Amino acid sequence: MKVTVIGLGAGDLNQLPLGVYKLLTSVNKVYLRTKEHPVVSALTAEGVLFESFDKIYESHDQFAEVYEEISTLLLEKGKVENIVYAVPGHPLVAEKTVQLLIERADEYEVNLEFKGGQSFLDSMFQALRVDPVEGFTLLDGTDLKGSELVLTQHMIIGQVYDAFIASEVKLTLMDYLPDDYLVKIVTAAGSSEEVIKEVPLYELDHDLALTNLTSVYVPPVTNEAILYPTFPKLKEIIATLRGPNGCPWDKKQTHQSLKKYLIEEAYELIEAIEEDDIDHIIEELGDVLLQVMLHAQIGDDEGYFSIHDVIAGLSKKMVFRHPHVFGERAAEDVDEALRNWNEMKKQEKGEKTSSILDGVPKSYPAMLRAEELQKRAAKVGFDWENIQPMWDKVFEEIKEFQLEAENNNDNRIIEFGDILFAFINIARYYQINPEEALHRTNTKFTNRFSYIEKKLDKNLKEASLEEMDRFWEEAKKKGY
C-alpha cells in the first residue's frame, strides 16, 4: 500500500502545478494536515473531498504530539489502502509530519510517494527581493532555539501561524536583537493575497492576521554593536587584535606571558562574587573569558589548536562525565553525581599513576594544593575518623613551631607550614574552604583598618596603639 504526499504550494490555485491539480481532482478523498490554505476552498468548490486533522491540534498541548498522532493515523490507513495526504507548500520543506512518515514508513511497510508543490521559499525570496546565495537560514517557529540563529544571514522563520507562536518567536529573538529591530511579517507570499508588513520586533505578536501561510523575515544584522554578544564576533575581535594590523601588546603575548593575568583575573572574579555585585561579576567573567580566548588564538596562530578544539574537548568531557544526565545511569543526590563524575574521570584518563597524589598540580596555590592532597589521601583511608586527633595535631605543631622559633632555628619555616597544614585538615573536616575563609578574613581586616584610618584624622604613625585598638573595636561592633 502507498501514501502519496502532495504539496499544495505556497499560495492560491494559480500556483498549483497541473499534474498535482489533476491528481487532487481524480481521487475520492484527500487527507489534509490543515484546511487553512487558499487552495482548499477553491478545490472544494470543484468537488474535491477533504478530511483535515485540524481537530487533533485542539487535543494536544505540544506540537510534537500533534505531528506524532497525524503521522500514526496516516501510516495505519496506508497499511490497508492507498491514500493521498496534502500539506501546505512543498512536502519536504518545513513539514514535520512528512519527516515522521519517512522515519516510520518501513516499520509499517508503507510506500511513500511525493508529488511536488511549490515551496514557499521561492515566493518568499521573490517577495522580499532576497538572493539566497548571500546566505540564509530557514527555521521552525514552533520550535525556535536561540542557538539556531545566524544573525549575519537572512533568516526566514516559518509556521508562525498564531499569536502564541509569534510571541515565543519574539521573545527568543529579543534575547539577541534590539526590541525595535525591524522585521517583516509575510503572509501568502507570491499569491494574490500576499501581504508584507514591516514591524519593530516588539510588535511581532500584535498582528491579528497571522495565518498558516505566515512567516517572519529577519534581515541580516549589519550593526557591529548588535553582534557584540555573539561568540563569532568575539572570536573575530580577538583574531583582529593579534592580526597583522592588531595591537602590539596582544601580538606579543605568549602562553607563558599570560599566566599571571589568568591568575589575577580569577581572583578578581572571586572578589566580585564575594561582593555579590552582579555587574562586577559580569565584567570579571568577561576578563576570564578574554584570557581563554587569547590562549586559544595563540594556539590557532601557531597552528596547534583553536577555540573549537577547546570547546569540543569540554563538551565531550561534560557528556562523558555525566552519565546520569546524558546516559543510562541515575544520580539521586549530589554524592552519587560526584561518584559518577570521579568514576568516569578515571575511565577517561585511562592511565595508572604511581601514587594516589599524582595529578594534583604543583602550580596550585599552596593552600589549595594542601587541601587537595589531604582529600586524595582521605579517599584511601589515610584520615582520622573524628575531630579530636586533628585538634591534638594542631596543638602539637604549634608547640614544635614555638620551640623552633624561640631558638631562631631555620626549621621554624617548616614547622609553621605544618601548623597551616594541620589547620587545613580541620577546615576540611568542617567542610570549610580555607582559601575562602582567609579571603573573608582579609576583607574584614581591610574594612576595619580603613575605618581606623577614617576616624583618625592624623598620620597613623602619630597615633598610639591604644587609639587604633579603640576604633578597631568600634568597627567590630558596627559589623565591619
Residues 50, 74, single domain; the answer is yes
For the segment 58-65, the average pLDDT, to the nearest whole number, is 85
For residue 290, the domain's CATH number is 1.10.287.1080
Q: How many CB atoms lie within 10 A of CB 69?
A: 17
* pLDDT, position 303: 95
Residue range 70-94, pLDDT digits in tens: 999 999 999 899 999 999 888 988 8
Residue range 406-419, pLDDT digits in tens: 988 888 999 999 99
* pLDDT, position 137: 95
Interatomic CA distance for residues 196 and 186, integer angstroms: 5
Residues 314, 360, single domain; the answer is no
Select from 118, 147, 181 the last residue of a domain: 118
* pLDDT, position 444: 92
For the segment 334-363, the average pLDDT, to the nearest whole number, is 75
In a domain, 338, yes or no: no
Residues 30, 106, single domain; the answer is yes
- How far is residue 310 from each of residues 79, 220, 313, measured CA to CA in Å? 50, 29, 5
Residue range 125-171, pLDDT digits in tens: 999 999 999 999 999 998 899 999 999 999 999 989 888 999 999 99
SS3 182: strand
Q: Which of 11, 32, 366 has the alpha carbon at shortest distance from 191?
A: 11
The DSSP output letter for 219 is P
42 Cβ contact list (under 8 Å, min separation 6): 12, 13
Identify the residue with better confidence: 199 or 275.
Answer: 199
The answer to whether 292 and 313 are in contact (CB under 8 A) is no
SS3 2: strand
Residues 127, 218, single domain; the answer is yes
Residues 107, 137, single domain; the answer is no
Identify the residue with better confidence: 276 or 355.
Answer: 276
Residue range 2-53, pLDDT digits in tens: 999 998 887 678 778 888 888 888 888 999 998 888 888 888 888 889 999 9
What backbone phi and psi angles, to 5 degrees, belong to 475? -65, -40
- How far is residue 233 from each of residues 178, 225, 229, 253, 301, measured CA to CA in Å? 17, 10, 8, 21, 18
For the segment 299-314, the average pLDDT, to the nearest whole number, is 95
Q: What is the largest CA-CA distance in the chain?
A: 111
Q: How many domains are there within the chain? A: 5
The answer to whether 36 and 211 are in contact (CB under 8 A) is yes
Containing 436, the helix (H) or strand (E) segment is helix 434-455
Interatomic CA distance for residues 413 and 400, integer angstroms: 11
C-alpha cell at 403: 620551640
SS3 175: coil
Chain centroid to Cα 52, Å, comes to 39
User: 3-state DSSP helix/strand/coil percent for the chain, to nearest 5?
Assistant: 60, 10, 30
pLDDT band at 335 (very low <50, low <70, confident <90, very high): confident
Residue range 99-132, pLDDT digits in tens: 999 999 999 999 999 987 778 888 899 999 999 9
Helices (H), 321-411: 323-326, 334-349, 366-379, 388-406
- How far is residue 315 from each of residues 149, 296, 318, 322, measured CA to CA in Å? 20, 16, 5, 11
In a domain, 168, yes or no: yes
* pLDDT, position 445: 94
C-alpha cell at 222: 549589519
For the segment 280-290, the average pLDDT, to the nearest whole number, is 97
* pTM of the predicted protein model: 0.67
466 lies in which domain range?
437-478
Select from 118, 140, 164 the last residue of a domain: 118
The answer to whether 150 and 137 are in contact (CB under 8 A) is yes
Evaluate if residue 352 carries a pLDDT over 60: no
C-alpha cell at 132: 539566497
- How far is residue 8 from each of residues 94, 211, 338, measured CA to CA in Å? 13, 15, 55
SS3 375: helix
Residues 103, 32, single domain; the answer is yes
Evaluate if residue 394 carries a pLDDT over 90: yes
Evaluate if residue 350 carries a pLDDT over 70: no
Select from 75, 97, 118 the last residue of a domain: 118
Residue range 365-385, pLDDT digits in tens: 888 899 999 998 998 889 998
